[in-house]
Amino acid sequence: MSAKDQIIPAVSFTTAQTGASAKSDELGMRPMQAQAYEKRGEQYLLIKSPPASGKSRALMFIALDKLANQNVRQAIICVPE
């Protein structure tokens, strides 16, 4: 598999708009953030979810884990406006 054909793991999250996705777990993560955090071992991760769902915060949790536990010295996070 060439670099051109490399598959990038993606996390897509759609809510039922019941308000349940606004509740946090013991680490302060929403369900979408916890689902993205489960994929934290991947080199690249694409998070596709609705506006104001916590994508930036999810990436913060993942970057902190990479810096603290995965011997990564730098994390680059791109979040569109």
Interval 2-42: pLDDT, tens = 656 777 677 766 666 666 666 788 888 988 899 899 999 98
Domain-located, residue 13? no
pLDDT of residue 37: 93
Q: Can you tell me the distance from the alpha carbon of 29 to that of 32, in angstroms, rounded to the nearest whole number?
A: 8
Residue 38 lies in a domain: yes
55 in any annotated domain: yes
Mean predicted confidence (pLDDT) in 56-79: 91
Q: Is the pTM of this model over 0.75?
A: no
Q: Is residue 34 part of a domain?
A: yes
**How many domains does the structure of the chain reveal?**
1
State the residue range of the domain holding 53. 30-73
Distance CA 80, CA 70 (A): 26
pLDDT score recorded for residue 62: 94
